[in-house]
A and B are shown apart, each in its own frame.
Chain A
Amino acid sequence: MLRFHVLRLLTMAHIQLQYQLIATGITKGFYRGWSLVSSQTVTLKQLGFPNQIGVPGSLIKEITALLQIKHPNIIELMEVVNSKEQTSLMLVYEFMDTSLTSFMRIHPKVMKNPQTIKGLLRQILLAVYHFHSFNIVHEGIKPKNMFIDPATNTLKITDFIWPRSISNSIIEDPYEESTFYYKAPEILVDKKQVTTAVDVWSVGCVFAEMVTGKPLFPAKTEFNQLAKIFSIMGTPSEETWPGISGIYPYLHVYSNCKPKDLRKLVPGLEPAGIDLLNKLLYMDPKKRIPAIKALEHEYFQN
């Protein structure tokens, strides 16, 4: 039923009257909408794509998978609606409005509570484990892609599809400049090295940020991101990361840094938390802890 109404609204000329833009000017292509049938508020995301290739294959695969995924910690993709001209798509998501970024800013006191952080990290890992079990890699995990219901502290992850599936999309990611803070070293080295482990790395970055309120690896440019990571986690070698010289011949360019003590960089985190953080941020992706194992870590035992 929702389909008909959203479709009708989309095809109307006075579309702006029916949908309020969320954060006009910051986030292009996002609308807040509501269903006339269920009176539910929804988030609408518009996607356009170039003509030559048809509907991008990655997009088809992801929408197919996401429509099947139902999880309390993943924002539900409720519907996919075609525009009348069949040139763009509108994705209909359940609506949430407080991102983890805003939540950390608005409620610094709540974030001081270790139990809150534990609860949020657990929910993040549950979501990540869930889509990893569908063999989906998110690749864009960052605080801006997580939403929190302040009443219950329920956290939900969103934004699988946009922007990464559609590299040539007419819509650009306005947050692109900070996305690389959360990128795993192996994809900074070689984009083809995508495995589920890249998400685990990002979760580690978010974990540290929840404790300190600041990004752990804030490089100025994507180019400097790898150096920033090396300066804290230590420059890898064939011993610490077997195979690294094969995928990245430029290692010798970087100065040889020793790993820093995360206890000093992430003060206030209990020892079990530091241990988990070290495992989430393990440089060699093959030895990085999988989400399911992280959930069993002793940090979550009390």
Chain B
Amino acid sequence: EYSVIDFPLQSDECLSLLIEKECEQFVGFGYFKRLTDGDLDFVARQQAVDWIRKVHTHFNFGPLCAYLSINYLDRFLAAYEFPKDKAWMMQLLAVACLSIASKMEETEVPLVLDLQVCESRFIFEAKTIQKMELLVLTTLKWRMQTVTPFSFIDAFIGKLDGDRSISRSVILKS
């Protein structure tokens, strides 16, 4: 029988591709400086991250989903001139990022409207969230399959374990 479930583990070539991609998607040291210097609203970002984590727990999403949401948020903030004094925009961004990340990673995704739980300070219409999603997708040039620490686990397990084939589910559990 031909196996359709197990995919081959990543090779060295994949690993170097991963590293290359990770560098491409790095937000840059400038971003951290802007955050700590107060050029970007550090508190607003922290609130957005806290909210994402709460909702993430609420829906019992996987770890990669949280990572991706915050990754999108940071990459967006680094690339886009964001008005500083508009708290609602940061909240809208958080909803859009979480929504995209859940669609990328989760099998069961709540409606965008239902994502707005856990004392969300502002509630947005579905139409508004969709527009923000599109803005995030375009700003990040549709590079939504971000290289995360999780991406490397595959490659490194492969290295530790020689060439023995491990099913992906085992890797995802780790």
Residues of A within 8 A of B (CB): 51-57, 60-61, 63-65, 67-68, 80, 82, 86-87, 89, 135, 195-197, 285-290, 293
In the complex where A196-B4, A286-B2 touch, is A57 in contact with B104 (Cβ < 8 A)? yes
Chain A CB within 8 A of B100 CB: yes
Binds A, one of B34-42, B81-89, B140-148: B140-148
Question: What residues on A are CB-neighbors of B7 within 8 Å?
Answer: 135
Q: Let me know if A55 and B137 touch, CB within 8 A.
A: yes
B112 touches A53 (CB 8 A): yes
Interface band, chain B: 20 to 34
Contact B103 A286 (CB under 8 A): no
A89 contacts B134, C-beta separation under 8 Å:
yes
- Min C-beta distance of A106 to chain B, whole Å: 36
Task: Give A237 to B33 CA distance when docked, in angstroms.
Answer: 66
Q: A286: which of B4, B133, B141, B145 is its contact (CB, 8 Å)?
A: B4
Q: Are B126 and A52 in contact (CB under 8 A)?
A: yes
Which residue from A53, A60, A87, A197 sits with its C-beta under 8 Å from B100? A60
**Bound Cα distance from A79 to B145, whole angstroms:** 17
Residues of chain A contacted by B126 (CB below 8 angstroms): 51-54
Closest Cβ neighbor of B145 among chain A residues: A64
Partner of B130, one of A55, A68, A80, A290: A55
B104 touches A55 (CB 8 A): no
Q: Are B111 and A53 in contact (CB under 8 A)?
A: yes
10 closest Cβ contacts across the A-B interface? A57-B103, A86-B131, A54-B130, A54-B112, A64-B144, A195-B4, A55-B133, A86-B134, A64-B145, A51-B127
